[in-house]
Every structure is written in structure tokens, then in C-alpha cells.
Structure 1
Amino acid sequence: MKLASHIAIGVRDLERSLVFYRDVLGMTVIRDAVNAPPRDELYGAHVCSTRRREVMLRMDGNEGEGFGDRVFLAISQSDELADNSSLNLEHIGIHHIGFWVDDIPALAERLRAAGHEPISIKDTIGVGYGESADQKMRAMFVRDPDGTILQFDQRVD
């Protein structure tokens, strides 16, 4: 198995989420399309039963050699919005997504300027990342506009 091909997040207001992911986090839109409900022989009604707009975004520095090496983020808004809350770290299911970044203090400043206060910023070591205990790390957690937890990790020299 290789890297993930993509991560998908359902959102309540796609335009609001685009401002966050594209303008605040600096991701690049690589596709913006409306997807019709899939036919049963493709995915089945249990996977997606409604039309939805989906925007695919890529973070800078994530332009691998081949298409299969390029992880992207997909955010989508369905015509029939679900009435559920985002998950917390103790919940079952995917409760947060982590991204490597080069400068957490600069990103935290951009987030705050846009009205998104980080949940926490902490210094740690590389053991939890499968690296040496000598590797200094920094981690920041923030919620997106719908409450999805995002983690940003930085190797600190």
C-alpha cells in the first residue's frame, strides 16, 4: 500500500469552507465539480444517495512524482445536509486529520487573523511520529468551520 490518495470531509457550507481551506490554509483548488448520485452498480445507495458539489484541494509541497503519489483533500456539500456534529478525539471513526507544515507560528497567525483560534500548540518529540526522540516537533490543533479537527505538525531544528 502507498500513501492515501485523498481525504474527504463533508461540510455544511462549501463556500465558507473554501475560504478556510483555500484562502486561510493556502491550499490550491485542483477540481470543482457537481457529482450526481451514483448508480447502484458503481457505489451503491449506501455510500452516497444525493447530488453533491465537491472541491478537491492540494497543499503546496504535495506534488509527488506520479498522480498516485499526490494526496489531496476533497470537501463536499450534499444537497441533503446531514444533521450531525463533528467528532472529538475520543470518538470512534476518523476524528482528526494531520498535515505536515513548515511554519506553525506563521500558520497560527494566519488562522487567528481569519478568526480561527487554535485549540492548542505544543512542543513534543518525534517518538509519536515514528522518529527519533531527539527530533523536536511542534503540533497545532484547530477546528475547521464545521468543527472537524485538523492537526498540523512541524519538525523543529
Structure 2
Amino acid sequence: MRVNAYEHVGIRVSDRARSVAFYERLGFREEIDLPAHHANEMATADGVRINLILNGVARDGASNLLQDEPVKWPGLTHVAFVVDDLGALEALLAREDIAITEGPVTLAGRRRTLFIRDPDGTVLEFNQLLDAA
């Protein structure tokens, strides 16, 4: 058995309309509504998928329980996506008034990366992979 890809990542959100609109600004489109599961499926044109889990409770200031609290609990701390042009993403984020919370920086000579947060404070990482040569 080999793990050769991931199918989707689930992101719990507190406000469906606000979150769907945010992820649409990043190029995702809602494809499937799963009301019995309090979720949806969203995908990019290239087939990168996320599920929004639509039963979250908002925290003051969109504080991220796993990232912003002094006690570091186990769990998923961020989602990392690959993009073909980090500069184009930066331009999109500027046009959409989405704040970059860190970066862009080059990490380990392998990728150029930046971080943003969704409206609930979930950390999203975007990477442009660099040529090893």
C-alpha cells in the first residue's frame, strides 16, 4: 500500500456564507453540498479539494486554538497548497484585500512560501516549489 495523494482536507468554519465566499476568492468552487454531514466539497479548476465543515463556533478575534494559544495542543496546524506562481497569488491577495500573515520566504531552498488566514483563523500556506538545480 502506498499513499500517493490526498483527497481533501476538512476545515471547520463558523459561517458558511462568509467562508464559501472567502475560499471562492482563492479559486475554489462549491461542488457538493452535504447537509446531513454539515459539510460541503469545494475544488479548484485543477481538482484540489477541501471540505468546509459547517458546524464551527466562532472565537473572538478569529483566534486559532492550535496556533495562537500558549498551550500547544496536538492537531492539524495548517494546510499547505502548491501554486505555480507565488507572485500571481500575492497580486490576487492584494486585489482581494487578504492579508499575508507571514512571508513570502524561501524555506530550505526547496520552496517559496507565504501564509494567510481564513476568516476563522485557520492558517493556509501556499508554496511555489523551486527547481532543485
The CA deviation at 1:101 is: 0.5
Partner letter of residue 106 of structure 2?
D
Matched residue, 1:19: 21
Per-residue CA shift, 1:84-119, capped at 9, x if unaligned? 542218652100010011111111221222221111
The unaligned stretches of length 5 or more in structure 2 are: none
Which amino acid is the alignment partner of residue 106 of structure 1?
A
Q: Percent identity?
A: 29
- Tell me the secondary structure at the aligned position of residue 46 of structure 2: coil
1:103-122 correspondence to structure 2 within 5 Å? 103-120=85-102, 121-122=104-105
Give me the whole-angstrom Cα distance separating, in 2, the residues matched to 1:108 and 1:75.
24
Q: CA deviation at 1:34?
A: 0.9
User: CA offsets, 1:123-152, max 9 Å, x none?
Assistant: 2312xxxxxxxxxx2101110111000100
Given the alignment, which residue of 32, 46, 52 partners 1:61?
A: 46
Q: TM-score, normalised by structure 1?
A: 0.67
Deviation at 1:83, TM superposition (A): 5.5
Output aligned runs, 1:22-101, within 5 Å: 22=24, 24-35=25-36, 52=38, 54-62=39-47, 72-78=49-55, 81-82=56-57, 85-86=63-64, 87-88=66-67, 91-101=73-83
What is the TM-score normalised by the length of structure 2? 0.77
1:61: Cα distance to partner? Answer: 2.3
Structure showing greater Rg: 1
Decide whether aligned partners of structure 1 residues 12 and 105 sit closer, same or farther in structure 2, where only a CA change above 3 A counts: same
2:123 equivalent to 1:146: no
Question: Residue 106 of structure 2 contacts residue 113 of structure 2 at CA under 8 Å; is this kept in 1?
Answer: yes
Could you list the runs of 5+ residues in structure 1 that have no partner in the other structure?
A: 37-51, 63-70, 127-136
Aligned to 1:7: 9
C-alpha RMSD of the superposition: 2.1
Secondary structure class of the residue paired with 2:81: strand
CA gap 1:102/1:91 in 2 versus in 1, 3 angstroms: farther
